[in-house]
């Protein structure tokens, strides 16, 4: 219900709010005339006639209403900007700035065919235990920077929770996807987050290539199995699974 309301609100605001500098005089003139016409109708209802000629009435009303129209439009622009900023904040993980779980899955459900990577930092608990949670948070941000540096601006990068991340890259060849997955498995290399010494934290990666249509819930379950296999096989590695789980995988961990 709220999504339907938000769509209507976006359409209305997109029509009302001026987008370019030259839209402003046009908007002020149009809304001034709307107010003037409403005033004429009210006078007709109240008195049965208009005391001035229509031209005089429009000229006076538009002139007098212009400051109020400008103020109202400025207020709408400000409120619309704040609304969009709040929407963006609600879609982002507050620590890393990546898409949060809900926003990532929402975007994933409308994507073209591509490759999904689930990434989990190896032995992350020991980082928190040895260096403290603030250092762990810095490491998560460092991993976010690594992922953003490896993908295109149009690709999806999200934090699903804790030390688990996800990357979705549409239209990527299997050769490039393999290379990307292997780099993601390297995690954070020689990061200077910790003052005592540079630290390297690897990642386990589960990958799956989608078809023309796919179910997000099933996709995540299969990718999660691949991630679990990567951890069971010793971590710091990439494991592929097919979207059709009945297809066999070869021993190298690449699609059969």
pLDDT in tens, 35-61: 777 777 777 777 776 656 666 666 766
Global pTM? 0.67
Q: Which of 67, 90, 113 is the last residue of a domain?
A: 90
Its domain, for residue 209, covers 101-242
Whether 110 and 129 share a structural domain: yes
Establish if 247 belongs to a structural domain: no
Lowest mean pLDDT among 51-60, 90-99, 129-138, 167-176: 51-60
Which of the four pLDDT bands, split at 50, 70 and 90, describes residue 197?
Answer: low
Establish if 136 belongs to a structural domain: yes
In tens, the pLDDT along 110-133 reads: 888 899 999 999 999 988 888 888
Establish if 248 belongs to a structural domain: no
Whether 122 and 185 share a structural domain: yes
Whether 176 and 129 share a structural domain: yes
Q: Which of 50, 66, 90 is the last residue of a domain?
A: 90
Which of the four pLDDT bands, split at 50, 70 and 90, describes residue 1?
Answer: very low
Establish if 255 belongs to a structural domain: no
User: What is the per-residue pLDDT for 51?
Assistant: 59
Q: Whole-angstrom Cα distance, residue 113 to residue 180? A: 17
Whether 231 and 111 share a structural domain: yes
Instruction: Verify whether residue 163 is a known catalytic residue.
Output: yes
Burial classification of residue 110, based on how many CB atoms lie within 10 Å of its CB (0-12 exposed, 13-18 middle, 19 or more buried): exposed
Instruction: Kindly provide the residue ranges of all beta strands, DSSP E only, lying in the chain, ordered along the sequence.
Output: 114-121, 156-161, 164-170, 188-191, 199-201, 203-209, 238-242
Total structural domains within the chain: 2
Whether 117 and 81 share a structural domain: no
Asked if residue 73 has pLDDT above 70, the reply is: yes
User: What is the per-residue pLDDT for 157?
Assistant: 97
- We report the CATH number of the domain holding residue 211 as 3.30.70.270
Whether 117 and 229 share a structural domain: yes
Whether 107 and 234 share a structural domain: yes
Whether 25 and 127 share a structural domain: no
The three-point CA angle 161-167-168 to 5° equals 130
Which of the four pLDDT bands, split at 50, 70 and 90, describes residue 78?
Answer: confident
Q: Which of 48, 70, 90 is the last residue of a domain?
A: 90
Using the CB atoms, write b or e for 53-76: b if 16+ within 10 Å.
Answer: eeeebbeebbeebbeebbeebeee
Catalytic residue among 43, 163, 164, 232: 163
């Amino acid at each position: 219900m709220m999504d339907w309301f938000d769509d209507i609100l976006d359409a209305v605001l997109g029509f009302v709010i001026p987008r370019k500098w030259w839209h402003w005089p046009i908007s002020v003139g149009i809304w001034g005339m709307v107010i003037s016409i409403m005033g004429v109708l009210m006078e007709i209802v109240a008195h049965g006639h208009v005391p001035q000629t229509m031209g005089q009435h429009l000229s006076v009303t538009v002139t007098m209403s212009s400051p109020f129209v400008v103020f109202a439009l400025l207020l709408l622009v400000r409120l619309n900007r704040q609304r969009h900023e709040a929407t963006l904040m609600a879609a982002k993980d507050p620590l890393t700035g990546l898409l949060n779980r809900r926003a990532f899955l929402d975007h994933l459900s409308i994507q073209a065919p591509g490759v999904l990577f689930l990434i989990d930092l190896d032995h992350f608990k020991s980082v928190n235990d040895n260096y403290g949670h603030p250092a762990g948070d810095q490491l998560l941000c460092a991993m976010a920077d690594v992922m953003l540096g490896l993908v295109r601006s149009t690709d999806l990068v999200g934090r699903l929770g804790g030390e688990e991340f996800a990357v979705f890259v549409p239209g990527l060849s299997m050769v490039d996807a393999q290379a990307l997955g292997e780099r993601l498995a390297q995690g954070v290399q020689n990061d200077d987050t910790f003052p005592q010494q540079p630290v390297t934290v690897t990642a386990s990666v589960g990958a799956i290539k989608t078809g023309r249509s796919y179910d997000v819930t099933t996709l995540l379950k299969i990718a999660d199995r691949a991630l679990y296999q990567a951890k069971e096989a010793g971590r710091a590695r990439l494991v592929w699974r097919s979207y059709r789980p009945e297809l066999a995988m070869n021993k190298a961990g690449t699609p059969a």
